[in-house]
Structure 1
Amino acid sequence: MHAIRLHAFGPAENLTYERTEDPVPAPGQVRIAVAAAGVHLLDTALREGMTGPYPAPAELPTIPGREVAGTVESLGEGTDPAWLGKRVVAHIGMAPGGYAELTVVDADKLHEIPAGLDEGEAVAMIGTGRTAMGILQFTELGPDSVAIVPAAAGGIGTLLVQYAKNAGATVVGLAGGPAKVAAVRANGADLAVDYTLPDWPRQVREHLDELGRGATVVYDSVGGVTARAAVGLLAKGGQHVVFGWSGEGLHDGRALTFTPEELAERGITSEGVLGPVMMQRAGGLRALEDRALAEAASGRLRPAVQRYPLAEAAAAHRALESRGTMGKVVLVP
C-alpha cells in the first residue's frame, strides 16, 4: 500500500509518500480500505516531536493520522463478521496509522457511517464533531444568547455557528480574510467579521449596541489578543469557554487566562473544557461520537470539509499551520 511516513521529527517536508507493507489486523481488529483520513492541528505538533500531555510516538518511522473512514475489507481473528464490507468511521486515538490506503482499527472503536454522509463528512464528525458536542455541554443556548465564535471558518467553528443558530441564538463569527468571512456569513452567522482588521471589535460592539445586548458566550479556540478582545465584549454573566489557543501557537501551549480578581470585576466566568472534564459530562467519548454522527445524519449539522490527495499531506500540514484552510482537512488516498 501507499502511506505517508515520518522518519524524523521536523517540518512538513518530512512527511513522505511511499510504499510500505500492508497492515495485518490482529484479533479483535478490522482492516479498513481508507477513503478519508482526518488531519488535525495537533498532528502538526506531533510531527515536530511535541512532548507533554500528547507525546509524539516513541518510535520512528511512523504513519501519522488518528481519524479514518472507509470500508472494512478484512477481519482479525474473533472479530464480528458483520463488520465485513460496511462503511465505517473511527477515531483511533493516539495510535498512528491513518494517513494510508489501509489501516487497522480495534473493532470496538468503529461506527457505521449513516446513510447520506460521505467518508470525509464522517471523519469530520468523529473528531471535530465530537469535540464540538463536548464543548456545547458547557453552555445553554437559546433566543436570548449572543455567541461569539473566533475561528468560525474552521471545522469546530463551522459546527458551533450552525448549532447556535439552530438554538435561536444570535451568532457573531470571526474569521481571517474575505474568503473566510464570506464562508462564515454563508454558514448562517448574523454578523461575520474579519479579525485581521484592527477595528473589528468596534464593528461587533456596534452590532451588539443595535441589539441592545452584550455577548453571552465566547467559544475560544485561538487565545491571544483576538480572544481577549472578544472576551471584552462579554456582558455581565457571560461565559468564556476555552478549548484551544491556535492564535498563540499550539506548540507554545498558551491559552488566554484571567485572575479570579479580573473575573470577579467583570462578572464573567472562564473555563477550559478539554480533557477529562469534557468526558465526565458526556459519559465518555463514544457518547459524543454517537451524538455528533446523529446530528450530521439528521441534517442539523453540516461539516465543512477541505480535501487533499494523500500524497499531498505535507501541503495539507503547511496550509493548516498557516491558517490557509476552511473546515475539516482530510486526506483522500
Structure 2
Amino acid sequence: MHAIRLHAFGPAANLRYEKTDDPVPGPGQVTIAVGAAGVHLLDTAIREGMQGPLPELPELPTIPGREVAGTVTALGEGVAGEWLGKRVVAHLGFAPGGYAELAVADADRLHEIPGRLDYAEAVAMIGTGRTAMGIAQFAEPTPEDVVVIPAAAGGIGTLLTQYAKHAGAVVVGLAGGPEKVRKVRENGADLAVDYKEEGWPETVREFLRGLPASASGEGRAATIVFDGVGGEAGRDAVDLLGPGGHHVVFGWSGQGLHDGAPLRFPEEYLAERDITSQEVLGPVMMRKAGGASPIRTLELKALSEARAGRLVPAVQRYPLSEAATAHRDLESRATTGKVVLEP
C-alpha cells in the first residue's frame, strides 16, 4: 500500500509518500480500506517531536494519523463477521497509522457510518464533531441565549453555530476575512462579522441593541461565548457578555498553534461582571461526558446529530500524497473546516 511516513521529527517536508507493507489485523482488530483520514492539530505537534498529551512519542518511522473512515476488508481473530464490508469510522486512539490506504483499528472503536455521510464527513464528526459536543455540554444553548463564536468558519465553529441555531439561539459568528465571513453567514449565523476589521465589537453591539428587548428594555447582551481563539478577539468577545454570561474556553489558536495560553481573567473581574469563565480542554470534557467510554459517548452524540441532519461538518480535502501541504496549511490557519486526506 501507499502511506505517509515520518522518518525524522521536524517540518512538514519530512512527511513522505511511499510504498510500505500492508498492515495485518490482530485479535479483536479489523483492516479498513481508508476512504478518508483526519488531520488533527496534534498531528502537527507530534510531527515536530512535541509529546503533548501522548504518553510517549511514536517510534520512527511512523505513519501518522489517528482518525479514519472507510470499508472493512479483513477481520482479526474474534471479530464478528457482520463487520466485513461495512462502512465504518474510528478513532485509533494513541496508535498511529491513519495516513495510509489501509489501516488497522480495534473493533470496539468502530462506528457504522450513517447513510447520509461520506467518509470525510464521518471522520469530521468523530473528531471535530466529538469535540464540539464536548464543548457544548458546558453551556447548552437555548432559545433565550445569544451565542458568540470566534473562529466560526473553522471546523468546530461551524458545528457550534449549527448546534446553537438548531437549539433556537441567536448566533453571532466571528471570522477573519471576507471569504470566511461569507461561509459563516451561509452556515446560518444571524450575524457574521470580520474580527480583523476595526470597530467590529460595536457592530455586534448595534445588532444586539436591535434584538427584541430583554426585561430591561435595552436589547440583549451575549450570554455565551464559545472561545477557541483567545487573544484580542477572544477578549473583545467576552466584553459582549452580560451579567450571568458564560465564557467557555477550548483553545487559543489566535496566539499560535503550538504556544500561547488560554484567555484567563482575574476572579475579581469575573465577579464584578457576574460572568463565569471555564476551560474545557480534553480531560474536563471527558469527565463531563461520563459513561464507560466518554470519548465514545461524545462520538455517538456527534454521529446522531449528523444522522438527524442537524450538523453538517465543513471539510477541506487533500490527496493523501499532499499530506505535507495539508500540515502547512493547517499550521498557517489557511484551512476552513476539518482537514482530511483522501487516498
Range of TM-score over shorter length: over 0.9
In structure 2, the partner of 1:150 is 150
In structure 1, the partner of 2:57 is 57
Structure 1, unaligned runs of 5 or more: none
User: Is the 1:240–1:271 contact (alpha carbons within 8 Å) kept by the matching residues of 2?
Assistant: yes
Task: Specify the SS of the correspondent of 2:16.
Answer: strand
1:318 to 324, 328, 334: 328
In structure 1, the partner of 2:242 is 235
Change (3 A) 1:58 1:302: closer
Structure 2, unaligned runs of 5 or more: 212-218
Worse-matched range after superposition: 264-273 or 201-210: 201-210
In structure 1, the partner of 2:337 is 327
User: Is the 2:45–2:52 contact (alpha carbons within 8 Å) kept by the matching residues of 1?
Assistant: no
Normalising by structure 2, report the TM-score: 0.94
Task: Specify the SS of the correspondent of 2:82.
Answer: helix
- Kindly report which structure 2 residues correspond to 1:77-88, keeping only aligned pairs within 5 A, or say none: 77-88=77-88
| Cα offsets for 1:33-76 (capped at 9, x unmatched) | 00000111221111111134336624111111111000000111
CA drift at 1:245: 1.0
Worse-matched range after superposition: 75-84 or 28-37: 75-84
User: Is the 1:149–1:173 contact (alpha carbons within 8 Å) kept by the matching residues of 2?
Assistant: yes
CA drift at 1:292: 0.6
Q: Which amino acid aligns with 1:121?
A: E
Q: Which amino acid aligns with 2:193?
A: V
Counterpart Cα distance in 2 of 1:248 and 1:290: 32
Counterpart Cα distance in 1 of 2:73 and 2:239: 53
2:270 to 260, 263, 266: 263
CA drift at 1:95: 1.4
In structure 2, the partner of 1:129 is 129
Task: Specify the SS of the correspondent of 1:64.
Answer: coil
1:282 to 283, 289, 295: 289
Counterpart Cα distance in 2 of 1:201 and 1:55: 42
In structure 1, the partner of 2:36 is 36
Counterpart Cα distance in 1 of 2:54 and 2:252: 15
2:227 to 216, 220, 233: 220
- Kindly report which structure 2 residues correspond to 1:106-255, keeping only aligned pairs within 5 A, or say none: 106-211=106-211, 212-255=219-262
- Kindly report which structure 2 residues correspond to 1:17-32, keeping only aligned pairs within 5 A, or say none: 17-32=17-32
Worse-matched range after superposition: 250-259 or 51-60: 51-60
User: Is the 2:171–2:190 contact (alpha carbons within 8 Å) kept by the matching residues of 1?
Assistant: yes
Q: Which amino acid aligns with 1:266?
A: R
CA drift at 1:113: 0.5
Worse-matched range after superposition: 253-262 or 309-318: 253-262
Counterpart Cα distance in 1 of 2:107 and 2:34: 15
Counterpart Cα distance in 1 of 2:327 and 2:113: 26
Change (3 A) 1:214 1:4: same
CA drift at 1:318: 1.1
CA drift at 1:171: 0.4
Worse-matched range after superposition: 167-176 or 50-59: 50-59
Counterpart Cα distance in 2 of 1:122 and 1:58: 26
Q: Does 1:294 align with 2:301?
A: no
Q: Which amino acid aligns with 1:288?
A: L
State the Cα RMSD in Å.
Answer: 1.2
Counterpart Cα distance in 1 of 2:90 and 2:255: 30
Q: Which amino acid aligns with 1:191?
A: L
| Cα offsets for 1:137-168 (capped at 9, x unmatched) | 11131222010111111111001000111111
Residue correspondences, number: 333
Counterpart Cα distance in 2 of 1:56 and 1:180: 36
Q: Which runs of 4+ in 1 moved over 3 A?
A: none
Identity %: 72
Q: Does 1:8 align with 2:8?
A: yes
In structure 1, the partner of 2:215 is none
Task: Specify the SS of the correspondent of 2:210.
Answer: helix
Counterpart Cα distance in 1 of 2:202 and 2:268: 26
| Cα offsets for 1:284-315 (capped at 9, x unmatched) | 11111111101101111111111100001111
In structure 2, the partner of 1:102 is 102
Counterpart Cα distance in 2 of 1:329 and 1:56: 24
User: Is the 1:47–1:56 contact (alpha carbons within 8 Å) kept by the matching residues of 2?
Assistant: no
Q: Which amino acid aligns with 1:332?
A: E
Counterpart Cα distance in 1 of 2:141 and 2:52: 34
Task: Specify the SS of the correspondent of 1:38.
Answer: strand
Worse-matched range after superposition: 54-63 or 321-330: 54-63
